[in-house]
Amino acid sequence: MALDRSNRYPGRFKNPTTEQPQGAFKNRTSPTAEDGSYFEADWANDMGGFFGAVLSNAGVSPNGSVDTASSSQVYDALKTLFPLAAGFTGSLGSSGYVQIPLKISGVSRILKINWATWSSTTGSSDASGIYETPGIPITWASPFTTSAYGVIASVNDVGGSGFQEMVWRTSMTLTGCSLLASCRQASAAMSGFVIGIGS
């Protein structure tokens, strides 16, 4: 609920607009006129109700001090209710990460996505015509804190046709992963992209 001040106090507030749907405040037209907006308990409490709802839903009890720009319980409560305002961080580039704050069933959690490029060269010995690279170590730009959920790797075309390029994960930790790649060509320069998802 919210007051329509122009209807509650006829003539004392401007009519509602898109910018001021509750009716904007207005000054009196002259020093002796009594046609300006005035202070009244209901509309003041109507405004205060919003701030009270923010504090209540964030589980914050007023500490008795006046909020300021440098120390505000209402602002801190908003950050609790909407963690995106405080925890969305990352680093962009060919290798990087993004940290996404979430709230699941009332519990604050962090989803982190890391990515990196990789490159290696296949060996000179084959197994049934397949040439593998040595292990390809990947170090995440920002290590996971609690869990590494999975890795998605892709491989670029080495050029030509019929080389059957492949890449797969051999191990995964909080700090990175290891890959192997293969194709039907000896000493082939291979490269690709890898994504790690965790928390």
Q: What is the pLDDT of residue 66?
A: 87
Among residues 82, 112, 132, the one where a domain terminates is 82
Tens digits of per-residue pLDDT, 100-152?
A: 888 788 787 889 999 999 999 999 999 999 999 999 999 999 999 999 999 99
Torsion of CA 168, 173, 174, 176, to 10 degrees: -50
Q: What is the CATH number of the domain that holds 126?
A: 2.60.40.3940
**38 shares a domain with 95:** no
d(C-alpha 115, C-alpha 193), whole Å: 7
Q: What is the pLDDT of residue 5?
A: 81
Among residues 60, 82, 104, the one where a domain terminates is 82
Taking the chain (199 residues) in consecutive chunks of 10 residues, what is each chunk's mean pLDDT?
79 85 86 81 80 88 88 86 71 94 82 97 96 98 96 95 95 98 96 98
Q: The domain containing residue 108 runs over which residues? A: 85-198
List helix spans (H) across 34-180: 41-57, 73-81, 84-87
Q: Which of 177, 131, 174, 130 is nearest to 152 (CA)?
A: 177
**169 shares a domain with 156:** yes
**64 shares a domain with 19:** yes
Q: What is the pLDDT of residue 145?
A: 95
